[in-house]
């Protein structure tokens, strides 16, 4: 045992020393103003390799691989699709698991029209509500010249500040996941997907009882520059989900974000985050 521990400590020591030598050489050569653009290019390339800014399509973002893996070898599957837009995500699940039960939430009236058509086609339930931390009435902001954009948000600054556009207001109805789960007597949620353009954290606040009960196996949400507007860090998500392991999507699997390190976690650009309950049977490469 002593020899084994010594070997592990020795390898760790050597590895750390090698890293420090590489860092020192790099800084000596490239830590100069003239190499700023070069270093920025290296940074831009590196973050994409870490699963950030790969939004060109659902294969590069890792979403396709994730959905295939999370639905694999399952006889019963229940999903809540919060911010379903026109149903693309829910449709993918139903194609893989035709017997899956899905509740797809979309507050935008124009998006909901198309979502309703898709829900009938693929046999799931479309719900014309937003989800947040409280129930009641609210306002949804979208572009004035686009009647159903994917950027519609409960935060005005998402449209006006981040996307630099004027906003059109839609009056909507809001519920909470806790209320919906209790009303429908749901005992197990295999997947909770949240894509609400900055309101993801409040959706989880409205699911506090459900989260604490351990009913949710896996949570998939976006983390991006909308969180600058909402002033929510990934650290806040980890606090509200203490019994979950955190990962970031890649096209061929998940990379762990544990233990928490702000230099790798608090990057406010497009990325898909997955939180898996510690008692879940979900297995990912």
Question: What average pLDDT does this structure show over 46-59?
Answer: 95
Q: Residue 15: its pLDDT value, please?
A: 80
- What does the DSSP 8-state code read for residue 160? I
Question: What average pLDDT does this structure show over 117-121?
Answer: 98
Question: What average pLDDT does this structure show over 207-220?
Answer: 97
Predicted TM-score (pTM) of this structure? 0.92
217-229 per-position pLDDT tens digit: 999 999 999 999 9
- Helices and strands: H and E segment counts in the chain: 12, 11
**Closest residue by Cα to residue 48 from 208, 281, 278, 248:** 248
Q: Which of 6-15, 258-267, 270-279 has the weakest average pLDDT?
A: 6-15
- Is residue 87 predicted with pLDDT exceeding 60? yes
Asked whether the beta carbons of 217 and 274 are under 8 A apart, the reply is: no
140-168 per-position pLDDT tens digit: 999 988 667 889 999 999 999 999 999 99
Asked whether the beta carbons of 124 and 117 are under 8 A apart, the reply is: no
Question: What average pLDDT does this structure show over 238-264?
Answer: 96
Structure tokens at 25: 């050489």
56-277: what CATH class? alpha beta
Question: What average pLDDT does this structure show over 116-139?
Answer: 98
**Closest residue by Cα to residue 117 from 83, 93, 85:** 85
Assign 171 to helix, strand or coil: strand
In DSSP notation, 215-250 reads -EEEEEEEESTHHHHHT--HHHHHHH-TTEEEEEEE
């Amino acid at each position: 045992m002593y020899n084994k521990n010594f070997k592990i400590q020795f390898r760790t020591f050597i590895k750390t020393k090698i890293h420090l030598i590489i860092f020192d050489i790099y800084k000596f050569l490239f830590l100069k103003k003239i190499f700023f653009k070069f270093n920025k290019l290296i940074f831009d390339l590196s973050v994409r390799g870490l699963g950030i800014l790969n939004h060109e399509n659902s294969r590069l973002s890792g979403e396709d691989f994730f959905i295939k893996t999370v639905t694999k070898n399952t006889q019963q599957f229940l999903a809540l699709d919060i911010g379903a837009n026109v149903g693309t995500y829910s449709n993918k699940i139903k194609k893989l698991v035709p017997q899956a039960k899905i509740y797809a939430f979309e507050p935008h009236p124009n998006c909901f029209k198309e979502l309703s058509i898709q829900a009938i086609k693929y046999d799931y339930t479309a719900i014309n509500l937003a989800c947040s931390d409280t129930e009641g009435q609210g306002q949804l902001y979208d572009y004035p010249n686009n009647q159903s954009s994917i950027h519609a948000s409960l935060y005005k600054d998402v449209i006006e500040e981040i996307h630099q556009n004027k906003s059109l207001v839609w009056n909507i109805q809001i519920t909470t996941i806790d209320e919906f789960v209790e009303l429908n007597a749901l005992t197990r949620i295999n997947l909770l997907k949240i894509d609400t353009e900055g309101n993801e954290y409040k959706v989880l606040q409205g699911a506090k009882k459900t989260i604490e009960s351990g009913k949710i196996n896996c949570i998939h949400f976006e983390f991006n520059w909308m969180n600058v507007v909402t002033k929510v860090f990934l650290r806040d998500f980890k606090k509200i989900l203490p019994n979950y392991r955190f990962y970031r999507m890649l096209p061929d699997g998940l990379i762990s974000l544990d233990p928490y390190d702000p230099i790798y976690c608090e990057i406010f650009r497009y990325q898909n985050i997955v939180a898996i309950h510690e008692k879940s049977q979900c297995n990912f490469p």
